[in-house]
Chain A
Amino acid sequence: MSWFKRIKEGITTDTKDKKETPEGLWYKCSSCKHIMTTEDHEKNFWVCEKCGNHHRIGSHEYFDILFDGQEFTEINAGIKSGDPLNFADTKKYSDRLKDAYKKSPLNDAIRTAYGKVEGLDLMVACMDFNFIGGSMGSVVGEKISRSIDVCIEKKIPLMIISKSGGARMMEAAFSLMQMAKTSAKLSLLAQAKLPYISFLTDPPTGGVTASFAMLGDLNIAEPKALIGFAGPRVVKETIGKDLPEGFQTSEFLLEKGFLDLIVSRPELKQKIAELLLMFKN
């Protein structure tokens, strides 16, 4: 196993890493159109100060938000997709991957790292929607699987931050089996009595929802995230009418009994630390 030590200098490091966050001096909220400075937006964890809209962010930002002093050890950073089926649709999958590598510094739709959260150990596996829609292929499965191995070895809790458009279709059945693989490893984590926090952020759908995202000892979501197995468009086609207001949002799932709580981003670190402590003592 290859290990990569990477210490962050601070929250404002290389902008190349932060494609999901807006560039420029001003940020306009996509929900309420409120305008604020990018700096204020960032200070408020990319949450609109007026309406509370959670702008979509990636692993870089979540690691910075969660880990003490923005210090963490990233593991298995170099793993990439092997294109097992030599897949091609209108475009070759290998070309899609090359484009994705060019567009961002990410190697796939997830990064895994461990560090301290208010002094408590935590492994965080965080998905990146920026990389082929946060789709789950072999790399996502393998990195989650290996991060769980490390959790068991080091006896540390796991948090998976999911945001995904679903399966990586270009890996077909290999992608499907990642649902099985991650669930298998989570069953081992459970047997080791190590806590698993599933943090659902806009949008976990498809195979991610039907595997690790719904298997947390605690299922916690960001406000107003879209969470579902079938996407809203498919459900709408199935029932042949418009979906009720708020269908498949975090608030809807909380009401239906599938979430433990909803936590907004500015409170995230504190709340996770409190919960970790509950498990500990």
Chain B
Amino acid sequence: MVYLEFEKSLEVLSNEIEKIKKVGSDSNVDVSKAVTELEQKLKDKRTEVYTNLTPWQRVQVSRHPERPYTISYINAITDNTWIELHGDRGVKDDKAMVGGFGRIDGRTVMFIGQQKGINTKMRQIRNFGMANPEGYRKALRLMKLAEKFNKPIVTFIDTPGAFPGLEAEERGQGEAIARNLFEMFQLKVPVICIVLGEGASGGALGIGIGDRVLMLENTWYSVISPESCSSILFRSWDFKEQAASSLKLTAEDMLANKLIDGIIKEPLGGAHNNQIGIHLTVKLEILKQLEVLDKIDSQHRIDERIKKFCSMGVVVE
């Protein structure tokens, strides 16, 4: 278990429990009462810590190294029926963006999302979840495939941004993202977008145009990361906490500002603390939303999708 800096009190309690358990098994003394008490104390403490998370702490939870990533959700939700489909048919297969058909409660759904690596080697291969243009083009190819065969689309967003590399620019990172925004508005099938971790800027939005845009409770979504915002606007890396607050990037803030449609609650202590729990919650949410969206005529769905995004923005006249 990896503990974040604000979880120190939880780590202390957790270690204490382990120690007592060891004493119990070494000495044959009954420690069950003490363990139960401490476990309750740990649960209370966890509730206390997690009900008062600051925006910056939520950003940290969204990047927790043990947090489940896109493929783990897809495999759990589709009961391992997911068949990954590769490549943009042009340049190559971008490992930072994955996609493919899977079955969920007997129906086919196209799942697409950014994938972060689960260990050092995979993090390199997955490019830390930062897709290149061919990743966005693969995503669009798969969305069009789903549309052709009238299958709904679910996208999972978890990226620190679109990759700002030399080849990415040469191959038109801007054009690739722009094309996705444009095309996603006219998709005839239901589209559900869920922010699983980090929702950084155009790289996130590039697969983020949907009839429902939802955020897990401990995620963030904004135009820039708090660190970069600190560096650019505050001209120092030291203001990331303040930047995280100013940006209003939490799920709660995003919902209050009507920039997303809903929040998916996480298990106590964050998604990483109960992976099976969050997988199931997300699955049920997808099924619930699909049931509603299925009943809407496709042109009406498109009109509503466009209307929703066009109402975003605050101006005075």
Contact = CB atoms under 8 A, between A and B. Distances in A.
Interface string B170-186: 11111101110111011
Interface in A87-119: 87-90
Contacts of A81: 314-316
Contacts, number: 198
B202 A172 contact: no
B306 interface: yes
Interface in A117-153: 137-139, 141-142, 145
Interface string B47-85: 000000000000000000000000000000000000000
A126 B235 CA distance: 30
Interface string A172-194: 11111111110111111011000
Contacts of A212: 178
Interface stretch (B38-46, B111-119, B219-227, B263-271): B219-227
B250 to A, nearest CB: 10
Given A88-B246, A172-B248, A210 B166 contact: no
9 cross-chain pairs, A with B, having the tightest CB-CB distances, nearest first: A230-B164, A138-B313, A209-B174, A84-B314, A82-B314, A183-B181, A229-B174, A89-B233, A176-B223
Contact of B172 (A83, A183, A211, A214): A214
B209 interface: yes
A175 B229 CA distance: 14
B208 to A, nearest CB: 8
A175 B316 CA distance: 15
A144 B166 CA distance: 30
Interface of B: 162-166, 168-175, 177-179, 181-183, 185-186, 201-202, 205-206, 208-209, 221-224, 229, 232-235, 239, 243, 246-249, 254, 257, 259, 305-306, 309-310, 312-317
A230 B284 CA distance: 38
A51 B47 CA distance: 67
A169 interface: yes
A268 interface: no
A183 B181 CA distance: 6
Contact of A184 (B172, B246, B310): B310
A238 B168 CA distance: 11
A129 to B, nearest CB: 17
Interface residues of A, number: 65
Contact of B178 (A78, A85, A209): A209
Contacts of A139: 313, 315
B169 A179 contact: no
5 contacts: A172-B223, A173-B248, A183-B181, A211-B177, A211-B178
Given A89-B246, A243-B166, A173 B259 contact: yes
A171 B315 CA distance: 11
Contacts of B175: 209, 214, 258
A79 B185 CA distance: 26
Nearest to B130: A238
Given A79-B317, A214-B174, A176 B202 contact: yes
A188 B302 CA distance: 11
A134 to B, nearest CB: 15
A209 B201 CA distance: 13
Nearest to B260: A173
Contacts of B235: 90
B249 A172 contact: yes
Contacts of A76: 317
A195 interface: no
Given A177-B309, A185-B306, A211-B181, 20 more contacts: A2-B317, A89-B239, A137-B313, A139-B315, A145-B310, A172-B224, A172-B246, A173-B257, A173-B259, A176-B205, A180-B209, A188-B306, A209-B178, A210-B162, A210-B177, A214-B174, A229-B164, A229-B173, A229-B202, A235-B169
Contact of A173 (B206, B232, B249, B317): B249
Interface in A241-260: 243, 247-248, 256-258
Contacts of A213: 174, 178
Contacts of B166: 235, 238-239, 243, 247
Nearest to A186: B182
Contacts of B317: 2, 76, 78-80
A184 B173 contact: no
Contacts of A207: 201-202, 223
A130 B249 CA distance: 28
A174 to B, nearest CB: 6
